[in-house]
Amino acid sequence: MIRTSRRLATVCVVALLAAASAHSQEYPAQPIRLIVPFGAGGVTDVTARVFAEGLSRELDRPVVVENRPGAGGGIAAGLVAKARADGYTLLVVTNGMFAVNPLIYPRLAYDPKKDFTYVAMLANTPTILAVHPDSPYRSLPELIKAALAEKDKLSFSTAGEGSDNYQVLQILQQATGTQMLHVPYKSGSESLTAVITRTVDTTAISAVTAVSFVESKQIRPFAVTSARRLSNLPQIPTVLEALGKPVEGGSLSGIAAPAGTPADVVKRLNKAIATVAASPLVQEKIYAKGSEPVDPSQAAFEQRVRAEQARWAALLPSAAR
């Protein structure tokens, strides 16, 4: 009787393991939702849609992009944190969402340290500090000089607290001892429109988005927030060159899944993302336009998450307390 029970239990365990293995091998068996935390038109959305196109081919299943803007990415992150951990609901996550939001929002609908499995990084995109072509400020030093003369005299637009341009402007203000008026919007495109329509004085625009606006002279670029000049816009100096301050920042984007997603599903996704990142599609539409390629391994992403969290806890110590 005991032997029979043991054999039955063994058979059940083997059957469950076989079923789990078969389920993982079948992944993906249905369309995948890719939740984007900001509105359409910004660098995060553009990056997500290019990768979704490539992943749809690589995984042989539709990868459908859904924009869920609001709360600096918090609405999208909260949604995915509560989703089933089966690999069919994924999140495009940025450094602001896992490193900055916990420091500036008293309550979050997600815990970046517990609610997600960080699958792979997609790209790192510096920003370009810019103004309207008719702005009275002809250079970055002139803009900073005006900002130093009067608190909140100048205004800047962002895609909301925690967004890439919010981060950059925060770093710039800290580095220069200025305080400008923050005007948040729901997306990077709206933030850019605010400068083009002269609703605000300045903003930081993702390098990918900025190219056509620089070439058509709809904005006047001052500096790029990277360690070196961009190959596709070599005429724009770095902030260090323009101002003597090492202001670097932008949008680090990646794909995360709900915590508990099966390891083999995560591995399948990671492999697919790495393949797409190396494809001509992404090389031409993302990396050649101002974004920088990044290590697509899961270990590299997890390490970068921890590094960004430590960096921003040091930059915003009062918030961290």
Where the chain has pLDDT below 70, the residues are: 1-25, 317-321
Tokens of 39: 């509105």
Direct distance between the N- and C-terminal alpha carbons of the chain, in angstroms, rounded to an integer = 62
> Are residues 129 and 236 in contact, defined by beta-carbon separation less than 8 angstroms?
no
- Number of neighbouring beta carbons within 10 Å of residue 87: 24
> Are residues 180 and 160 in contact, defined by beta-carbon separation less than 8 angstroms?
no
Query: Where are the domains positioned within the chain?
Result: 32-124+251-320, 126-243
- Number of neighbouring beta carbons within 10 Å of residue 229: 15
DSSP state of 287: G
Residue 8: the pLDDT is 52
- Number of neighbouring beta carbons within 10 Å of residue 278: 13
Element spanning 205, H or E: strand 202-206
How far apart (Å, rounded) are the C-alpha atoms in residues 156 and 143?
11
> Are residues 185 and 229 in contact, defined by beta-carbon separation less than 8 angstroms?
no
How far apart (Å, rounded) are the C-alpha atoms in residues 241 and 117?
38
DSSP state of 238: B
Q: How far is CA 107 from the centre of its chain?
A: 20
Burial of 306 (0-12, 13-18, 19+ CB in 10 A): middle
Residue 7: the pLDDT is 56
> Positive or negative, the Cα torsion across 176, 294, 113, 77?
positive
**Which whole-number Å values give the CA distances from 281 to 53, 137, 272, 285, in the listed order?**
9, 38, 14, 6
- The answer to whether the 32-124+251-320 and 126-243 domains have the same CATH topology is yes
Radius of gyration of the chain (CA): 22
Three-state SS for 217?
coil
From 66, 77, 69, select the one nearest 108 (Cα to Cα).
77
Residue 134: the pLDDT is 97
Residue 321: the pLDDT is 42
From 23, 92, 89, 30, select the one nearest 62 (Cα to Cα).
30
Interval 188-229: pLDDT, tens = 889 999 999 999 999 999 898 898 999 999 999 999 999 889
> Positive or negative, the Cα torsion across 132, 138, 139, 145?
negative
> Are residues 243 and 140 in contact, defined by beta-carbon separation less than 8 angstroms?
yes
126-243 has which fold?
Answer: D-Maltodextrin-Binding Protein; domain 2 (3.40.190)
Buried b (16+ CB within 10 A) or exposed e, 241-275: ebbebebbbbbbbbbbbbeebbeebbebbbebbbb
How far apart (Å, rounded) are the C-alpha atoms in residues 279 and 283?
6
Interval 135-174: pLDDT, tens = 999 999 999 999 999 999 999 999 887 788 888 999 999 9
Q: For the domain covering 32-124+251-320, report its CATH number.
A: 3.40.190.150
